[in-house]
Structure 1
Amino acid sequence: MDSSDVSEKDLKIIEKQLGRCVSNVLTIEKRCIYGYPQVIKSFPLKDGKPFPTLYWLTCPYLVEEVSKLEAQQKITEIEKIIQNDPELKRQLVRVHQVEIEKRMKLLGEKINSLPENMIKKLKETGVGGIENFSSVKCLHLHYASYLVGENNPVGGIVDRYIAKKCCDDSRCEKLKS
């Protein structure tokens, strides 16, 4: 994992990538071959509310590629693949559990000052805040998890669907200014 501190320049690039301000970025967990943020790690609270998404895909090219898969109904297809393979199903449940463990570790003692409903949300929901560990909410979140080295079977399937894993540098040039 090539995690790194987040500079002001990185934050500006991430904001351009996502098209909005970001306030809970902890680290850049993965960079593309051109050095731009590809996956960030987020703090589990944002503006005083639960933010259960630990890994966030920021690369505009990959976001677009994964969005195309979602538009092609790949979520339903991947759910069927997972449901029909007991080992993949077990791996998916484990990915959710690991994300919860990491989230709780990041929160540390801060968890004790949160209202019970927030604690419940953070302790009982998996990747992206999903409650049903057998279903898939968003391919982007699973792919981000996979890209940082988690044994995420959904992300692995998404990776196999995406033929070209990076854009040409010209697409990222506009992020520099």
Structure 2
Amino acid sequence: MIDERYRRNDEAAVAAQLGREPRGIRRTAYRCPCGLPAVIETAPRLPDGTPFPTLFYLTCPKAASAIGTLEGSGAMRGMQERLAADPDLKAEYAAAHDDYLRRRDEAAREDGIEPLPEGMQSAGGMPERVKCLHALVAHELAVPGANPFGREALEALPDWWRSGPCVRAADDREGAQ
């Protein structure tokens, strides 16, 4: 079963990226140009029922490091100031928040689990704050065009994948003929 092999390989790669076993993976939401998962979609609730509001989770440590550098440069401060001053940008960011919540609720329905409570946070500070570029970039990578600040941050990043994969991918295709 080729799909099952790829799923296992992706989960092994994500475990190597995170340095721990991932929890609640639904699928790979974005694949890095190097071929490995870079964003996973997680279940709205972990297997034990604990709410997990982060639907799109950035796993690539090279991308995470580049985003951390961008956050450290003060980029979020300027984004937050523009969010407060620009009604069109505020509306676009609110639409990103609504998209995130809709997708998270849809994932819960697909998995046959209870959606998260009304008013539960989405990600990255949406819709009022610019708090975590990692989450906003993950949203934009998973759903291109969905998140204005994720898109802006992504455009400011270097090509993190150019130096090669962040981890060695497990490959159990050998001998699977």
**1:166 deviation in Å?**
2.5
Secondary structure of 2:146's aligned partner:
coil
CA contact (8 A) 1:25 1:41 kept: yes
Aligned to 2:66: 65
TM-score normalised per structure 1 = 0.81
After superposition, the C-alpha distances for 1:49-78 in whole angstroms (9 at most, x for unaligned) are: 111111111111111000111222222221
Please name the residue that 2:132 is paired with.
138
CA positional deviation for 1:11? 0.7
Instruction: Determine the structure 2 residue equivalent to 1:10.
Output: 10
Q: Distance in 1 between matches of 2:161 and 2:124?
A: 28
Two-structure CA RMSD over aligned residues (Å): 2.2
Counterpart in the other structure of 1:147: 141
* Structure 1 unmatched runs, 5+: 113-118
Distance in structure 1 (CA, Å) of the matches to 2:83 and 2:151: 11
Shift of 1:142: 0.3
Structure 1 residue 126: Cα displacement? 4.1
> Which secondary structure does the structure 2 equivalent of 1:51 belong to?
coil
2:114 aligned with 1:111, yes or no?
A: yes
Which amino acid in the other structure matches residue 160 of structure 1? E
Q: TM-score, normalised by structure 2?
A: 0.81
> Do the aligned residues in 2 keep the contact of 1:100 with 1:124 (CA within 8 Å)?
no
Following superposition of structure 1 onto structure 2, how do residues 1-177 of structure 1 map, counting pairs within 5 Å? 7-46=7-46, 47-108=48-109, 109-111=112-114, 119-120=116-117, 123-128=118-123, 130=125, 133-148=127-142, 149-169=144-164, 171-172=165-166, 174-176=167-169
Higher helix fraction (1 or 2): 1
- Which secondary structure does the structure 1 equivalent of 2:123 belong to? helix
Q: Residue 143 of structure 1: CA displacement?
A: 0.3
Q: Which runs of 4+ in 1 moved over 6 A?
A: none
CA contact (8 A) 1:52 1:129 kept: no
SS at match of 1:175: coil
Higher relative contact order (CA 8 A, sep 6+): 2
**Contact 2:124 / 2:132 at 8 angstroms: preserved in 1?**
no
Whole-angstrom CA distance in 2 between matches of 1:55 and 1:26: 10
Distance change (3 Å), C-alpha of 1:78 and 1:136? same
Offset, 1:85: 1.9
The equivalent residue for 1:116 is none
Q: Give SS of 1:49's match.
A: coil
Q: Which runs of 5+ in 2 are unaligned?
A: 171-177
